[in-house]
């Protein structure tokens, strides 16, 4: 099973549907908030969210949803990446709540060969995430530097650095 793609495998206009989705739990949200020191009561305090916000319940922190979608895209888009170069835009379109399931898809917008190194190129993609109802919740664009096949072949193929099993 391949992990990521070489530059030659990307085609402008192609959309990858990332599978499976992820149901966001209260634990996921709270752990991410604690790890990132985002202690806003909208995310952590159910009483506050119920009594003092328009949503009347906790909202999942947006950067978790972005991170989740980014991670979902790795096997299809950046699993072979040399570098993530830039996040060009990020929009949180609708709130996500505990119990929502997030699904992602990524469309290839452009690709450009590197001007300085012949063994790589830059791919520009847009990732969209929706919940179980199909409501768009997050969209972002990024540029990723990916290798050409020659780069991969020079470094060990599909699983560079993987040791061979020695028996006996």
Q: Where are the domains of the chain?
A: 7-154
pLDDT at site 164: 83
CB proximity list for 75: less than 8 A, separation 6 or greater: 3, 4, 18
Distance CA(67)–CA(16), nearest Å, equals: 17
The alpha carbon of 34 is separated from its chain's Cα centroid by a whole number of angstroms, namely 21
Query: Is the previous residue joined to 123 through a cis bond, with omega within 30 degrees of 0?
Result: no
pLDDT at site 156: 78
Share of the chain above pLDDT 90, in %: 87
pLDDT in tens, 54-89: 999 999 999 999 999 999 999 999 999 999 999 999
pLDDT at site 130: 98
Burial of residue 53, with CB atoms counted within 10 A of its CB: 0-12 exposed, 13-18 middle, 19 or more buried? middle
7-154 classified as CATH 3.90.1570.10 = no
Query: Of the given ranges (48-52, 119-123, 150-154), which has the lowest mean pLDDT?
Result: 150-154
- Across the range 97-101, mean pLDDT stands at 97
Sheet with 15-23: strands ordered across: 15-23, 101-113, 120-130, 136-147, 83-92
pLDDT at site 1: 63
């Amino acid at each position: 099973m391949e992990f990521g793609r070489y530059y030659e495998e990307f085609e402008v206009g192609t959309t990858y549907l990332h599978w499976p989705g992820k149901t966001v739990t209260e634990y996921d949200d709270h752990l991410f908030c604690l790890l990132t020191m985002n202690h806003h009561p909208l995310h952590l305090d159910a009483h506050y969210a119920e009594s003092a916000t328009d949503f009347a319940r906790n909202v999942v922190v947006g950067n978790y949803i972005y991170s989740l979608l980014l991670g979902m895209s790795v096997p299809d888009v950046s699993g072979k990446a040399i570098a993530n170069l830039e996040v060009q835009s990020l929009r949180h379109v609708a709130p996500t709540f505990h119990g929502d399931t997030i699904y992602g898809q990524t469309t290839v917008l452009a690709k450009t060969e590197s001007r300085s190194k012949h063994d790589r190129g830059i791919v520009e993609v847009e990732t969209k995430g929706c919940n179980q109802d199909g409501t768009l919740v997050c969209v972002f664009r990024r540029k990723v530097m990916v290798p050409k096949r020659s780069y991969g072949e020079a470094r060990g193929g599909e699983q560079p650095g993987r040791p061979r099993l020695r028996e006996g």
